[in-house]
Amino acid sequence: MANPWRGEVALVVDGVPHVMRLTLGSLAELEAGLESGSLVALVERFEGARFSSRDVLLLIVAGLRGGGWQGGAADLLAAEIEGGPMAAARAAAELLARAFMLPADADNG
């Protein structure tokens, strides 16, 4: 069960439930893999619905790794995410929003 107060988001990969979370380490790993070079640019792409499938993949990998998963992007290329690409994109956006949500924002929904 994912705990939104900790910034966690649930995702089922190949029938196995996982809890994703963006830790400082996973954020640093994510930023290193971004072609745009910054987390701010990534947030702006998601806010403007201009994100790519690569953005979604990198966010999912970072979140899974922040949740303790030991895999990498190559492991997800052939994986089945419950709900398909749209569910993956929603989970990635939610993960990003929760990572940067202020506690007062969380109280308001």
Asked whether the beta carbons of 20 and 64 are under 8 A apart, the reply is yes
Phi-psi region of 59 (alpha: psi -120 to 50; beta: other; left: phi over 0): alpha
Would you say residue 109 has pLDDT above 60? no
Tokens 């069960």 correspond to what residue? 1
Determine the Cα–Cα distance for residues 59 and 62; give it in Å rounded to an integer. 5
Q: What is the pLDDT of residues 6-52, one digit of tens each?
A: 889 999 999 999 999 999 988 888 888 887 668 888 888 888 888 88
Look up residue 62 and give its amino acid.
Answer: A
Position with higher pLDDT, 38 vs 90: 90
DSSP 45-66: HHHTT---HHHHHHHHHHHHHH
Q: What is the pLDDT of residues 68-78, one digit of tens each?
A: 999 988 999 88
Q: Give the residue extent of every domain in the chain.
A: 17-98
Model confidence band, residue 99 (pLDDT cutoffs 50, 70, 90): confident
Determine the Cα–Cα distance for residues 72 and 54; give it in Å rounded to an integer. 13
Q: What is the pLDDT of residue 50?
A: 87
Query: Which among 55, 52, 59, 47 has a CA at the least distance from the CA of 11?
Result: 59
Q: What letter would DSSP give residue 81? A: B
Q: What is the pLDDT of residue 90?
A: 94
